[in-house]
A and B are shown apart, each in its own frame.
Chain A
């Protein structure tokens, strides 16, 4: 039995609920058992660190302290979100590298009756567990519906393989863990050199011109290389590439249609589960046509944003595009 503590992270309950649903669906065939960290809090994403140092690390460390208290039979905390994974791993690492930080964070934790000795836990990402603990052999033997012919771009994103404090990945710039896993499912994995390029992170919110260009590069390259969908391992990557793809198309006047699914959703399909059980269909860029190439039928859902009113009609503020928009910050 493979037992772990789980730090789900905020998005697994909302924007990335498809990730959680598909994770639940693949646990049984792989004999995976997760125990959620009791009363975990947000890791602060990439926002808190830019405001205050000690509060930011204390916020993260509360989760580590709770996990260390709760551990029964395991010292491994699994985070499915790359940003959460990095924050937890980073706090654990820096509290050791800079003991004064560790002391102050512990002083703050004590105000809440908690403490954390850095190094107590192993912080790992979900795909790390699947590839290195469960193993590709076990995954391959659970496949009942191989994804033969499905051309997938493997997108690892940036915060997973870097900075890699504990040397967990095959490479920092071209790790092959996701490629190997998707191949084990039978998928036709394309060569995707941008696999660890950035999706824009929070720039979709604060500097959309910067983010749109990063999104365009990723989607355009996957498209040119013949991928019919992209597989991601991170809720933030999924959100940026999926929910903002339409915005990006508007901005550049392009017409890309690249569905973005979580790798766990593809695992679920390969394990014979139905799209409805895997949260397939809640992506904004529909994967219906892409999955039809392997004979999987995705139930039709309403596609918001698809039907837009004509330009005539009431004068509404127009969407901002590259050509008529603000000059880029320089």
Chain B
């Protein structure tokens, strides 16, 4: 962190402008994020169908990124509530890849182990585990594992639905596996190494 001037300390400011967090998030985001171009207009939060359940609107979160508030940002539930509907993305006058920034923040929060409600990270991880094992998603395995872990009391209420899905042939009992699982595994292993070095 840059050296603080006396004036800043007297004014109660905790740090000098530090754009390292903003840059880190921008670099880790797929495509060219345009995150640095945010003008704080609030179109994103105003367009968001689930803003009422978020700790911070996307606009506020982006201001926090610019302010270098790493811990607060990675503890925020905002990226986990985002439903990826891309309403904000098409309305943003600065073309910030907002939904993709949210994906980046999720990944960073998981790695920093800062997000306390584990429901969403576990769901993503369980889904990924299934895909890495079978090459396909496996709904029954995913749902059972997820509900047992996080919503055991909701399981009885979910039974009629699960039963309906199975009897109507809409949920397979056994997983499907792709033929060249070895090939997919090699690709993913290599990709994970590249992720660590990038």
Determine if B21 is an interface residue (Cβ-Cβ < 8 Å): no
Interface size class of A (residues with CB under 8 A): 35 or more
**Contact of B190 with A207 in the complex, beta carbons under 8 Å:** no
Q: CB-defined interface of A289-329 with B at 8 Å, one 1/0 digit per residue? A: 00000000000011111001000000011111000000011
Residue from A41, A54, A101, A205 in contact with B184 in the complex, judged by beta carbons closer than 8 Å: A41
In the assembled complex, the CB of B102 is this many whole angstroms from the nearest CB of chain A, namely 8
What separation, in Å, do the CA atoms of A208 and B143 have in the docked complex? 13
Please measure, in the bound complex, the distance between the C-alpha atom of A201 and the C-alpha atom of B86, giving whole angstroms: 12
Which residue of A108, A164, A246 contacts B90 across the interface (Cβ within 8 Å)?
A164
What residues of B have a CB within 8 angstroms of the CB of A330 in the complex?
A: 53, 55
- Expressed in whole angstroms, the minimum distance between the Cβ of A195 and any Cβ of chain B is 12
Taking CB atoms, residues of chain B closer than 8 Å to A18 are 170
Interface pair A163/B89, CB less than 8 Å apart: yes
Find out whether the CB atom of A206 lies under 8 angstroms from the CB atom of B120. Answer: yes
Give chain A residues whose Cβ lies under 8 Å from the Cβ of B184: 41, 59, 62, 112
Contact B84 A206 (CB under 8 A): no
- Closest beta carbon of chain B to A203's beta carbon, Å: 6
B170→A14 contact, CB < 8 A: yes
Interface-facing stretch out of A91-99, A119-127, A176-184: A91-99
Which of the residues A114, A206, A304, A319 comes within 8 Å of B167, measured between beta carbons? A304
Q: Does A104 contact B (CB under 8 A)?
A: yes
- Among A45-53, A131-139, A143-151, which stretch is in contact with chain B? A45-53
Main secondary structure of the interface of B (DSSP, over half): helix
Whether the Cβ atoms of A304 and B163 lie closer than 8 Å is yes
How far does the alpha carbon of A305 sit from the alpha carbon of B170 in the complex, in Å? 15
Q: Are A282 and B107 in contact (CB under 8 A)?
A: no
Q: Which residues of B contact A13 (CB under 8 A)?
A: 172, 176
Known A200-B83, A247-B161; contact A93-B31, beta-carbon cutoff 8 A: yes
Q: Select which of A16, A45, A49, A111 is within 8 A of B190 by beta carbon.
A: A111
Q: Given that A45-B137, A52-B192 are contacting pairs, would A206 and B123 also be in contact in the complex, using a CB cutoff of 8 Å?
A: yes
- Closest residue on chain B to residue A49 by CB atoms: B103
Known contacts A14-B139, A41-B131, A48-B127; is-contact A210 B179 (Cβ 8 Å): no
Interface positions, chain A 177-207, Cβ under 8 Å from B, are 196-198, 200-203, 205-207
Q: Which of B164, B187, B194 contacts A305 (CB 8 A)?
A: B164
Give the size range of B's interface with the partner: 35 or more
Interface of A is mostly: loop
Residues of B contacting A53 in the complex (Cβ-Cβ under 8 angstroms): 28, 30, 103-104, 107, 195
Contact with B along A64-98 (1 / 0, CB 8 A): 00000000000000000000000000100110011
B148 to chain A, nearest CB (A): 13
Is B18 interfacial (CB 8 A cutoff)?
no
Residues facing A in B144-167 (CB within 8 A) are 146, 153-154, 156-158, 160-161, 163-165, 167
Q: Closest B-chain residue to A90, C-beta based?
A: B30
Q: In the complex, what residues of A have CB within 8 A of residue B107's CB?
A: 50-53
Residues of A within 8 A of B154 (CB): 208, 319-320
Measured between beta carbons, the chain A residues less than 8 angstroms from B163 are 304-305
Q: Is A44 engaged at the interface, CB distance under 8 Å to the other chain?
A: yes
**C-alpha spacing A246/B120, complex, angstroms:** 23
Q: Flag if A50 contacts B124 (CB, 8 Å).
A: yes
Docked Cα-Cα span, A13 to B178, in Å, equals 13
Contact, CB under 8 Å: B103 / A50: yes
A residues near B158, Cβ cutoff 8 Å:
247
List residues of B whose CB falls within 8 A of some A CB. Answer: 28, 30-32, 49-50, 53, 55, 77, 79-81, 83-87, 89-90, 99-100, 102-104, 106-107, 110, 117, 119-120, 123-125, 127-128, 131, 135-137, 139, 143, 146, 153-154, 156-158, 160-161, 163-165, 167-172, 176, 178-180, 183-184, 186-192, 194-195, 198
Closest 3 CB pairs of A and B: A305-B160, A162-B86, A50-B106
